[in-house]
């Protein structure tokens, strides 16, 4: 049975897609069978994992959610990973599904493939709407990347509120995997202050602050631009090394 981790934060550009991608690469290196689900209409994860997500393809996560295709029919086996791609069609879900049970669409879609994988990673959009509620309803745990800025941290209170709502209504077993500080620069005061503030906030919210932090590095961006596995593209890069440590920490915590 696959463990399902969702990477989420309603703030844009905090490193959700990057984290989902590189975690998947790290798990594959450790011999895990991994499925990535792009659950963001922007389709960034599809791009970085070499999936074909052109609208005319008709085999995205949207088509699985609508029941037009079996879930297995939407899985692309790229050189990097198995991935269910997404594109702007996914944003239609908000308007097309308004009735009861709409929060269970993704969970129901993933059920038939749970036994094919060790890990399923879901990348989510920068919003707290029905897509994020679906991702939380389908997942076992939620990883929350934050950038070292105060607004990013304040957003966690709202994000945790959505998590608690979902726990009450559609997924009692959902747990916070932890807060992950990305774009970290140990020598900059802002990063240090935010780390302390994050520790306090994590304590108040009852969420773990992960030991691992991800340092800022352009190589992480370059690996994605070139649609490559970061561990192969920049094996000695410090941020890529940080992601390796993160995989180990999350495995150690039983999350992955
Ligand atoms: N550790 C890092 N160091 C430097 N740049 C990074 C790092 N992590 C991510 N980036 C870059 O920051 C930008 C935003 O990252 P990413 O797309 O992963 O964020 P996101 O939270 O998924 O954004 P969105 O909310 O739009 O989906 C990208 O250009 C990415 O390459
Ligand atoms: Mg993203």
Ligand 1 and 182: CB distance under 6 A: yes
User: Which two structure tokens, joined as six digits, stand for 16?
Assistant: 């959700």
Q: How many Å lie between the centroid of ligand 2 and the Cα of residue 249?
A: 22
Is the pTM higher than 0.85? The answer reads yes
Q: What's the CA-to-centroid distance between 125 and ligand 2, angstroms? A: 6
Q: In angstroms, rounded to a whole number, what is the distance separating the alpha carbons of residues 42 and 244?
A: 26
DSSP 106-161: HHHHHGGGGGG-SEEEEE--SS-SHHHHHHHHH-SEEEEEE-SSHHHHHHHHHHHH
Helix (H, G, I), strand (E, B) or coil at 14: coil
Ligand 2 center to residue 146 CA distance, Å? Answer: 13
Token code pair at residue 61:
């996560």
Structure tokens at 143: 């990883």
User: Residue-wise pLDDT tens for the chain (256 aa)?
Assistant: 999 999 999 999 999 999 999 999 999 999 999 999 999 999 999 999 999 999 998 999 999 999 999 999 999 999 999 999 999 999 999 899 999 999 999 999 999 999 999 999 999 999 999 999 999 999 999 999 999 988 888 889 999 999 999 999 999 999 999 999 999 998 898 898 999 999 999 999 999 999 999 999 999 999 999 999 999 999 999 999 999 999 999 999 999 9
**End-to-end C-alpha distance for the chain, whole angstroms:** 12
The yes or no reply on domain 3-252 and CATH 3.40.50.300 is yes
HSE-CB of 144 using CA atoms within 13 angstroms: 31
Mutate to test the pocket of ligand 1, among 13, 42, 155 (most ligand atoms within 8 A of CB): 13
Ligand 2 (single-atom ion) residues, CB below 5 Å: 16-17, 44
């Amino acid at each position: 049975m696959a463990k399902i981790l969702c990477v989420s934060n309603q703030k844009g550009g905090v490193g959700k897609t990057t984290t989902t991608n590189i975690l998947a690469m790290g798990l594959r290196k450790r011999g895990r069978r991994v499925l990535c689900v792009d659950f963001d209409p922007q389709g960034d994860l599809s791009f970085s994992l070499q999936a074909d997500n052109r609208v005319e393809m008709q085999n995205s996560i949207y088509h699985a959610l609508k029941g037009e295709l079996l879930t297995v029919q939407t899985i692309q086996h790229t050189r990097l990973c198995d991935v269910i791609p997404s594109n702007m069609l996914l944003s239609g879900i908000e308007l097309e599904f308004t009735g009861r049970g709409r929060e269970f669409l993704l969970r129901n879609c993933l059920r038939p493939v749970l036994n094919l994988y060790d890990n399923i990673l879901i990348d989510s959009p920068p919003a707290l709407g029905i897509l994020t509620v679906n991702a939380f309803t389908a997942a076992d745990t939620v990883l929350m990347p934050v950038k070292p800025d105060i607004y990013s941290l304040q957003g966690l209170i709202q994000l945790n509120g959505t998590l608690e709502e979902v726990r009450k209504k559609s997924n009692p077993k959902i747990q916070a995997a932890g807060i992950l500080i990305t774009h970290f620069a140990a020598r900059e005061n802002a990063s240090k202050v935010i780390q302390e503030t994050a520790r306090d906030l994590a304590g108040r919210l009852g969420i773990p602050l992960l030991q691992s932090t991800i340092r800022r590095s352009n190589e992480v961006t370059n690996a994605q631009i070139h649609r490559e596995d970061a561990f192969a593209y920049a094996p000695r890069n410090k941020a890529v090394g940080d992601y390796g440590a993160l995989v180990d920490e999350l495995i150690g915590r039983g999350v992955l």
